[in-house]
Amino acid sequence: MIEKIVHHPEKVTLEEIAWILANDELNEQLFAVADEVRRKYLGKEVYLRGIIEFSNYCRNDCLYCGIRSSNKNVKRYRMSVEEIVERARLIAQMGIKTVVLQSGEDPYYTREMIGEMVTRIKKFNVAITLSVGEREFDEYAYWKELGADRYLMRHETADEELYRKLHPNDSFENRKAHLLKLKQLGYETGAGSMVGLPGQDDFSLAKDVLFVYQLDADMVGIGPFIPHPDTPLAECKAGELTKTLKLIALTRLFLPDANIPATTALGTIHPFGRQLALKCGANVIMPNFTPSPYRAQYALYPNKICIFENDVACGECTKNLVRSVGYEVSEDFGYRRKAHERT
């Protein structure tokens, strides 16, 4: 079955993926083959992406998210363009070649403001990833022209019914249209999902795998759902480590050359979550460069790691983490290496 995914992913069915997810006897083989595929296509290199979470204002009300608009316990903040650009400079000075600009869906930042960030940060010779949620299509185009390279917008779940329940003002179909638009505009496009959402089963997760494969996502962020106490899902269970690792490994088999992060959420539910992810398919890590006191206030989920660190410590820490599991810190920009054929 695992061989089939490696050689004929186009023939694999939803049922087959769901079966692998439901049964644990193939796990070791799955993880080993995912690491093999990763080494073959990407070597031992890991790309670092410095992330700045520049605003926790959000107009959306996603049921799982700690910064949802109806959570009144959040202390909201917005960084100025000046502050953001200075933080990006710091990332570049540390030799990190990608700056990720992330925020809640915050219309306060106009197309011109984000454009100014892109123009000024581009001068530091870094790749820029935007992750500011759903915006107008002409805004995506404008930022692309100014030099933005990539866009992250997880699809969250490819189970349409579950998507509807979790997102009061959005549909999966609409999210998909945005991702397709981003691809069409030439962005390296990142999708991805959470594992262990309430009501999600192995078929839903199998849909996530097939969705990113069919989209040919350039990047795929996968992390466990972690219940936030100030949300309607407070009493739900968190996603599991093993299931999340299986999803990462399967995604690596379907997209051998995609960029897949070892996510902070995985590092939050297990002390070695990110290390384990790097060993079964992940090839990216995203050190947090959000300055304090804002960092702690960007709480999408509780107990997020790196909150109490010095606010530039994650750069060195992630480099050490990568080396500790036998991989190398890449000095490249880390664009997707398109594999033109499978072997």
Give the interface with ligand 5AD as residue ranges (CB under 6 A). Answer: 64-65, 154, 156, 194, 223, 225-226, 228, 265, 300-301
For residue 331, which amino acid is it? E
What does the chain come to in residues?
A: 343
Q: Does 311 bind ligand FES (CB under 6 A)?
A: no
Give the residue with the Cβ less far from ligand FES, 27 or 297.
297
Q: Does 288 bind ligand FES (CB under 6 A)?
A: yes
Give the residue with the Cβ less far from ligand 5AD, 12 or 286.
286
Q: Which does 118 bind (CB under 5 to 8 A by kind): ligand FES, ligand 5AD, none?
A: none
What's the closest the beta carbon of residue 264 comes to ligand FES, in angstroms? 8
Give the residue with the Cβ less far from ligand FES, 259 or 318.
318
Give the residue with the Cβ less far from ligand 5AD, 225 or 294.
225
Spatial strand order of the sheet with 127-131 comes to 50-55, 98-103, 127-131, 150-152, 188-195, 219-224
Q: Which does 265 bind (CB under 5 to 8 A by kind): ligand 5AD, ligand FES, none?
A: ligand 5AD
Alpha-carbon Rg for the chain in angstroms: 19
> Hey, what long-range contacts does 4-11 have (CB within 8 A, 24 or more apart)?
5/250, 5/253, 5/254, 6/33, 6/37, 6/253, 6/342, 7/342, 9/213, 9/253, 9/254
Give the residue with the Cβ less far from ligand 5AD, 147 or 302.
302
Q: Which does 225 bind (CB under 5 to 8 A by kind): ligand 5AD, ligand FES, none?
A: ligand 5AD
Q: What gap in Å lies between CA 113 and CA 135, rounded to an integer?
A: 14
What's the closest the beta carbon of residue 284 comes to ligand FES, in angstroms? 13
> Near ligand FES by CB under 6 A, which window of 133-141, 142-150, 292-300, 306-314?
306-314
Q: Does 314 bind ligand FES (CB under 6 A)?
A: yes
Q: Does 223 bind ligand FES (CB under 6 A)?
A: no
Q: Which does 317 bind (CB under 5 to 8 A by kind): ligand 5AD, ligand FES, none?
A: ligand FES
What's the closest the beta carbon of residue 155 comes to ligand 5AD, in angstroms? 9
What's the closest the beta carbon of residue 297 comes to ligand FES, in angstroms? 16
Residue labelled with tokens 């299986």:
246
Instruction: Evaluate the omega torsion of the peptide bond into residue 293 and state whether it is cis, within 30 degrees of 0.
Output: yes
Per-residue DSSP letters for 24-81?
A: -TTHHHHHHHHHHHHHHHHTTEEEE-EEEEEE---S---TT-TT-TT-TT----B--H
Q: Which does 81 bind (CB under 5 to 8 A by kind): ligand FES, ligand 5AD, none?
A: none
Would you say 105 and 59 are in contact if contact means Cβ atoms under 8 Å apart? yes
CB atoms within 10 A of CB 36: 14
The pattern of x and - marking residues 244 through 283 that bind ligand FES according to CB under 6 A reads ----------------------------------------
Give the residue with the Cβ less far from ligand FES, 177 or 296.
296
Strands of the chain, DSSP E = 45-48, 50-55, 98-103, 127-131, 150-152, 188-195, 219-224, 284-285, 328-329
What's the closest the beta carbon of residue 276 comes to ligand 5AD, in angstroms? 17
Q: Does 309 bind ligand FES (CB under 6 A)?
A: yes
Would you say 83 and 318 are in contact if contact means Cβ atoms under 8 Å apart? no
Kindly tell me which residue out of 129, 263, 318, 330 binds ligand FES, with binding defined by CB under 6 A.
318
Kindly tell me which residue out of 221, 239, 281, 287 binds ligand FES, with binding defined by CB under 6 A.
287
Q: What gap in Å lies between CA 248 and CA 82, rounded to an integer?
A: 36
Which residues here bind ligand FES, judged by CB under 6 A? 287-288, 306, 309, 313-314, 317-318
